Chains A and B, each alone.
Chain A
Amino acid sequence: MAVPDSIAARRPAATSPPSPTANAKRRPSRPDAAYWLFLLPGTVLFLLVIGGPLLYTGYLSLTRWSGVGEPSFIGLENYRNLLTDEVFWTSFRNTVAMIVAMVVVPTLVGLVLAAVLFDTIGRRFRPRTAAALRAAFYLPQVLPVVVAGIVWGWILRPDGALNGLLDAVGLGALRHDWLGDPGSALPVVMAVMIWVQIGYPVVVFMAALERVNPELYEAAEIDGAGWWRRFRAITLAQIRPETFVVGLTCTIAAMKVFGPIYALTRGGPENATNVPSYFAYFTFFKRLHVGYGSAISMVLTLIIVVVAVLFIGAQNRAERQDGAL
Chain B
Amino acid sequence: MAATLAPARRTPPPAHPARRPRQHRGVGRWLVLLLVGAAALVMLVPFAFMLLNAFKSPGDYSANGPLSWPTEFYTTGLRTYWEQVDFPVKLWNSIVISGSVAVLAVIVSLLSAYALGIGRVRGRLWIIGLFLLANMLPQEALVYPLYHFAKEAGLYNSRLAVIIIFTVIQAAFGTYLLASVLGTFPRTLLEAAALDGAGTWRILWRVVLPNVRPTIAVLLVFFFIWTWNEFLIPLVMLIDNQTQTVPVAIATLQGDRLMDAPTTNAGALLSLLPAILFFLIFQRTLARGITAGADK
Contact = CB atoms under 8 A, between A and B. Distances in A.
Interface size class of B (residues with CB under 8 A): 35 or more
B251 A38 contact: no
Contact of A14 (B146, B247, B275, B296): B296
Interface of B: 1-10, 12-13, 16-18, 20, 22-25, 29, 32-33, 36-37, 39-41, 43-44, 46-47, 49-50, 53, 62, 65-67, 108-109, 111-112, 114-116, 118-122, 127, 131, 133-134, 136-146, 148-149, 164-165, 167-169, 171-173, 175-177, 180-181, 183-184, 187, 199-200, 204, 215, 218-219, 222, 225, 228-229, 231-232, 235-236, 246-248, 250-251, 254, 261, 264-265, 267-268, 271-272, 275-276, 278-279, 286, 290, 293-296
B66 A159 contact: yes
A281 B140 contact: yes
Given A2-B5, A125-B33, A141-B3, A45 B164 contact: yes
Contacts of A258: 139-140, 231-232
B8 A135 contact: yes
Give the interface SS of chain A, mostly helix, strand, loop or mixed.
Answer: helix
Given A138-B6, A304-B138, A14 B294 contact: yes
A187 interface: no
Residue of B32, B133, B144, B146 ringed by the most chain A CB atoms within 10 A: B144
Contacts of A34: 119, 199-200
Nearest to A134: B8
Contacts of A160: 66, 261
B108 A32 contact: no
Q: Which 5 A-B pairs have the closest CB atoms?
A: A35-B119, A42-B112, A53-B145, A136-B40, A253-B2
A42 B175 contact: yes
Contacts of B265: 151, 154
Contacts, number: 353
Contacts of A159: 62, 65-66, 261
A171 interface: no
B275 A143 contact: yes
Contact of B108 (A24, A45, A154): A45
A35 B43 CA distance: 49
A154 B77 CA distance: 15
Nearest to A149: B251
Contacts of A229: none
